[in-house]
Structure 1
Amino acid sequence: MKQRARAFAEKAHAGQKRKSSDAPYITHPIRVAERLESAGYSEELVCAGYLHDVVEDTPYEMEDIETEFGPSITRLVAAHTEDKSKSWQERKQHTIDTVKYAEKEVKYLIVADKLDNLLSMEQEYQLQGDALWNKFNAGFDEQKWYNGSVAANMAVGLDDDEVPAYFYEFADVVKRMFGGEG
């Protein structure tokens, strides 16, 4: 099923590029899925890693995900899909609230996604400097608030042994990029 999810994501994101670079978009969901797989998570969660941006950023609908991959994967993807009709601030507040209160699998997916985004952002910042912020819907201060808020809320409700190493990595990258936790 993981191979099917990857192939579906590759088809859906064909021709798309990352916002801050010329890298093919598919590199992002592949890295998210690989992070989830290396952390030892379920096949469903790894598939959701491949598919997490399909509904948000391509013509495919949640029904397409459900038809191809069933309700369990669809539920994970849906929990992480932003409503693009809302403002940037509303969408990001929803993600912060979701990461704070969601079940652990949804938290794992969101933070794996946000970590990969922030690592890419950090890499591009080293190349572009402050010009990078012009490529996003929100500048440095908003990005600091958002990523710091995700870091502050990602482990809420988890026992220490349920917090994966990449959560700590995310907190470290937030500190490197923004000089604190929001």
Structure 2
Amino acid sequence: MKPKAKAFAEKAHEGQKRKSSDIAYITHPIRVAERLEEAGFSDELVCAGYLHDVVEDTPYEMEDIEVEFGPRVAHLVAAHTEDKSKSWQERKQHTIDTVKYAEKEVKYLIIADKLDNLLSMEQEYQRQGEALWDNFNAGFDKQKWYNESVAANMSVGLKEDAIPAYFHEFPDVVERMFGARD
């Protein structure tokens, strides 16, 4: 099922580029899925890692995911899909609320995604400097609020032995990106 999900995502995101660079978009879902696989998570969650942006950013719909990959994968993708008809602030608040209250597999998917986004952002910041923020719907202050809020809420309800190693990396990257500025 994982190779099928990867191929589906590659086809869906064909020709798309990352927001702040010329890098092929598919590199992001592949890294998210690999992080989930390295953490030892279920095939369904790894597939959701490959597919997490398909409904949000391509013409495919949730029904396509369910038909191809089943209700569990579709549920995981749906739980992490933003409603683009809402404002940036509403979408991000929804993600913060979701990461706080969702089942642990949804949390695992969201943080794998957000960590990869932040690591990419950090690389691009080193290359572009403050001009990086011009690539986003929200600038530094709103990105800081959002990422700090995700970090503050991501482990709510999880027992220590249910927290994957990459959860410990996320707040460190948030601090590097949004901590004290010169």
TM-score by length of 2: 0.98
Residue matched to 1:29: 29
Residue matched to 1:90: 90
Moved over 3 A (4+): none
Q: Secondary structure at the match of 2:175?
A: helix
Give, as a single letter, the amino acid of the residue that structure 2 aligns with 1:21.
Answer: S
The superposition leaves residues 65-121 of structure 1 with CA deviations (integer Å, 9 ceiling, x where unpaired) of: 001001000000000000000000000000000000000000000000000000000
Residue matched to 2:117: 117
Q: CA deviation at 1:145?
A: 0.2
Distance 2:164 2:139 in 1: 29
Residue matched to 1:65: 65
Give, as a single letter, the amino acid of the residue that structure 1 aligns with 2:178.
Answer: F
Distance 2:124 2:145 in 1: 19
Give, as a single letter, the amino acid of the residue that structure 1 aligns with 2:149.
Answer: S
Q: Secondary structure at the match of 1:75?
A: helix
The superposition leaves residues 112-152 of structure 1 with CA deviations (integer Å, 9 ceiling, x where unpaired) of: 00000000000000000000000000000000000000000
Q: CA RMSD in A?
A: 0.6
Residue matched to 1:135: 135
The superposition leaves residues 20-54 of structure 1 with CA deviations (integer Å, 9 ceiling, x where unpaired) of: 11000000000000000000000000000000000
Distance 2:125 2:175 in 1: 14
Give, as a single letter, the amino acid of the residue that structure 2 aligns with 1:5.
Answer: A
Give, as a single letter, the amino acid of the residue that structure 1 aligns with 2:36.
Answer: L
Residue matched to 2:43: 43
Distance 1:51 1:35 in 2: 14
Give, as a single letter, the amino acid of the residue that structure 1 aligns with 2:37.
Answer: E
Distance 1:99 1:2 in 2: 24
User: What percent identity do the matched residue pairs reach?
Assistant: 83
Aligned residues: 180
Residue matched to 1:152: 152
